[in-house]
């Protein structure tokens, strides 16, 4: 609840402000959960958005439908080329992506909007990466608009 209190204080200090949660990989999944939590907890007039890079699937189809209902058009999950992380956990286990995929194309680098949940179009992640065996693990780190999301230790 400490985070919620902090967000409420900041919103009081900045009337009319919006809230955007952002993350990469597991952080993108957490950003989605935080966005859902904040949408439920905050005043419904406050605009909540989620941006995730290389987001794994977070819940089942009911969860995805719920998120699509409470954050309609407010979630963007950006998948890079043949990144394997967005196709796990598998759909065969009952996991489902929420709507809002943007897929960076393998050859051109163009960003394509993929409507719906787990779109099988070959320009979208499900249509591009059928299994982890057809994936390219290095694509998980980007680049996303020229930015590599990787820590070097």
Supply the residues annotated as catalytic: 25, 83, 140
b/e map 68-90, b = 16+ CB within 10 Å: beebeebbbbbbbbbbbbbbeee
Q: Give every strand in the sheet of 111-114, ordered side by side.
A: 19-24, 48-53, 75-80, 101-104, 111-114
pLDDT over threshold 90, residue 150 = no
The helix (H) or strand (E) run that includes residue 19 is: strand 19-24
Q: Is the pTM of this model over 0.85?
A: yes
Q: For the domain with range 2-6+18-140, which CATH number is right: 3.40.50.1820, 3.40.50.1000, 3.90.1150.10, 3.90.1200.10?
A: 3.40.50.1820
Collapsed DSSP state (helix, strand, coil) of residue 104: strand
Predicted confidence (pLDDT) per residue in 75-103, tens digit: 999 999 999 999 999 999 999 999 999 99
Predicted confidence (pLDDT) per residue in 112-140, tens digit: 999 999 999 999 999 999 999 999 999 99
- Residue corresponding to tokens 């935080």: 34
Do residues 56 and 50 touch, judged by C-beta distance below 8 A? no
* Cα–Cα nearest to 80, from 32, 35, 28, 31: 28
């Amino acid at each position: 609840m400490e985070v919620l209190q902090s967000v409420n204080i900041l919103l009081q200090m900045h009337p009319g402000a919006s809230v955007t949660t952002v993350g990469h990989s597991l952080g993108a999944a957490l950003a989605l959960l935080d966005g859902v939590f904040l949408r439920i907890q905050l005043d419904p007039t406050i605009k909540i958005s989620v941006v995730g890079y290389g987001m794994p699937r977070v819940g089942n189809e009911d969860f995805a439908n719920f998120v699509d209902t409470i954050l309609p058009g407010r979630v963007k999950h950006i998948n890079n080329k043949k990144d394997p992380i967005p196709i796990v956990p598998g759909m065969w286990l009952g996991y489902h992506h929420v709507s809002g995929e943007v897929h960076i194309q393998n050859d051109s680098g163009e960003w394509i909007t993929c409507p719906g949940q787990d779109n099988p179009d070959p320009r979208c992640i499900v249509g591009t990466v059928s299994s982890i065996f057809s994936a390219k693990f290095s694509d998980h780190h980007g680049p996303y608009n020229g930015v590599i999301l990787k820590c070097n230790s």
